[in-house]
Structure 1
Amino acid sequence: MATDTIKIAYIGGGSQGWARRLMYDLALEPRLSGTIALYDINHDAAKTNQRIGTLISNHPDATGKWTYEAIPTIEEALKDADFVIISILPGTFADMAKDVHFPEKYGIYQSVGDTVGPGGIRRAVRSIPLFMEIGEQIKLHCPDAWVINYTNPMSVCTRTLYKAFPQIKAIGCCHEVFETQHLLANMAEEMLGVTVENRKDIKVSVTGINHFTWINEATYQNIDLFPLYAKFAEKYAHTGFEKEQGKWEESVFHSSNRVKFDLFQKYRLIAAAGDRHLAEFMPPVYLKNPQTVHDWKFHLTTLDFRVKDQQRKISENEKVFTDDTRIVLEPSGEEGVEILLALLGIEDLVTNVNFPNKGQIQNLPKDAIVETNALIRKNSVQPVRTNDIPLNVANMVNRHILNQEAVIQAVLTEDKNLARNAFVNDPLIAAISYDNAVSLFEEMDVWQQN
Structure 2
Amino acid sequence: MTRIVFIGAGSVVFTRQLLTDLLRFPDLPELDIVLHDIDAERLEVARGTAEQVSARLGRPARIHAALDRRAALEGADFVVNMVQVGGIAATRIDLELPASFGLRQTIGDTTGIGGVFRGLRTFPVLSAIARDMRELCPDAWFLNYTNPMAMNIWWMSVVAPEIKAVGLCHSVYWTVNDLCELVGVPLEETVYRAAGVNHQAWLYQWEHEGESLYPRLRERIEADPELRRRVRVEMFRRIGYYPTETSEHSSEYLSWFLRDDAQIERFRLEPLVYLGISEDNVREFEDARAALAEGRELELHEEGDAAEYAPQIIHSMLTGTEREIHANVINRGLIANLPEGACVEVPARVTSAGVEPIAVGDIPVQGAAHNRTYLSVAELAIEAARTGDRELVKRALLVDPNAASTLSPERLWELADAMLAAHEGVLPSTLGGRAELVLP
**What's the TM-score once normalised by structure 2's chain length?**
0.90
Distance 1:103 1:44 in 2: 32
Kept after mapping to 2: 8 A contact 1:353/1:372: yes
1:415 to 382, 389, 404: 389
Distance 2:301 2:116 in 1: 38
Q: C-alpha displacement at 1:125, in angstroms? A: 1.1
Q: C-alpha displacement at 1:314, in angstroms? A: 2.2
2:12 to 16, 21, 25: 16
CA RMSD of aligned residues (A): 2.0
Deviation digits for residues 323-360 of structure 1 (CA, Å, limit 9, x no counterpart): 45466563353232111112234201101010111111
Gaps of 5+ in 1: 242-255
Q: C-alpha displacement at 1:145, in angstroms? A: 0.7
Corresponding residue for residue 185 of structure 1: 180
Deviation digits for residues 229-272 of structure 1 (CA, Å, limit 9, x no counterpart): 22233333x3028xxxxxxxxxxxxxx7x111111111111111
Distance 2:384 2:3 in 1: 35
Question: Are 1:404 and 2:356 counterparts?
Answer: no
Distance 1:122 1:150 in 2: 17
Kept after mapping to 2: 8 A contact 1:54/1:67: no
Corresponding residue for residue 282 of structure 2: 310
Question: Are 1:95 and 2:100 counterparts?
Answer: no
Distance 2:81 2:107 in 1: 20
Q: C-alpha displacement at 1:444, in angstroms? A: 2.0
Q: C-alpha displacement at 1:394, in angstroms? A: 1.5
Give the AA of the match of 2:214.
Answer: F
Q: C-alpha displacement at 1:109, in angstroms? A: 0.8
Distance 1:319 1:343 in 2: 34
Give the AA of the match of 1:143.
Answer: P
2:419 to 436, 444, 447: 444
Distance 1:131 1:375 in 2: 26
Distance 1:53 1:327 in 2: 13
Pairing of 1:40-119 with structure 2 (within 5 A) = 40-59=37-56, 62-119=57-114
Kept after mapping to 2: 8 A contact 1:39/1:74: yes
Q: C-alpha displacement at 1:27, in angstroms? A: 2.5
Distance 1:374 1:325 in 2: 36
Question: Are 1:296 and 2:267 counterparts?
Answer: yes
Kept after mapping to 2: 8 A contact 1:260/1:275: yes
Corresponding residue for residue 123 of structure 1: 118
Question: Are 1:352 and 2:326 counterparts?
Answer: yes
Question: Are 1:239 and 2:236 counterparts?
Answer: no
Identity over the aligned pairs, expressed in percent? 26
1:218 to 189, 199, 206: 206
Corresponding residue for residue 6 of structure 1: 2
Corresponding residue for residue 353 of structure 2: 379
Corresponding residue for residue 286 of structure 1: 257
Kept after mapping to 2: 8 A contact 1:407/1:422: yes
Distance 2:388 2:87 in 1: 23
Kept after mapping to 2: 8 A contact 1:29/1:63: no
1:176 to 171, 176, 197: 171
Pairing of 1:254-293 with structure 2 (within 5 A) = 258-283=230-255, 285-288=256-259, 292-293=263-264
Match of 1:128, SS state, is helix
- Aligned residue-pair number: 420
Distance 1:304 1:176 in 2: 20
Corresponding residue for residue 435 of structure 2: none
Q: C-alpha displacement at 1:65, in angstroms? A: 2.1
Corresponding residue for residue 246 of structure 1: none
Corresponding residue for residue 391 of structure 1: 365
Kept after mapping to 1: 8 A contact 2:45/2:292: no
Match of 1:288, SS state, is coil
**What's the TM-score once normalised by structure 1's chain length?**
0.88
Deviation digits for residues 31-75 of structure 1 (CA, Å, limit 9, x no counterpart): 22211111111122112211221121112xx24321221112111
Gaps of 5+ in 2: 429-440
Distance 1:346 1:321 in 2: 39
Distance 2:95 2:299 in 1: 35
Q: C-alpha displacement at 1:80, in angstroms? A: 0.5
Per the alignment, do residues 444 and 211 of structure 1 end up closer, same or farther by CA in structure 2, a change over 3 Å counting? same
Give the AA of the match of 2:163.
Answer: I
Kept after mapping to 2: 8 A contact 1:132/1:163: no
Corresponding residue for residue 253 of structure 1: none
Distance 1:10 1:180 in 2: 27
Match of 2:195, SS state, is strand
Q: Relative to structure 2, which stretch is displaced further, 366-375 or 99-108?
A: 99-108
1:427 to 398, 401, 415: 401
Corresponding residue for residue 228 of structure 1: 216
Point out which structure has higher relative CO (alpha carbons under 8 A, 6+ apart).
Answer: 2
Per the alignment, do residues 329 and 440 of structure 1 end up closer, same or farther by CA in structure 2, a change over 3 Å counting? closer
Q: Relative to structure 2, which stretch is displaced further, 397-406 or 325-334?
A: 325-334
Question: Are 1:157 and 2:164 counterparts?
Answer: no
Kept after mapping to 1: 8 A contact 2:70/2:132: yes
Kept after mapping to 2: 8 A contact 1:109/1:290: no
Give the AA of the match of 1:275.
Answer: S
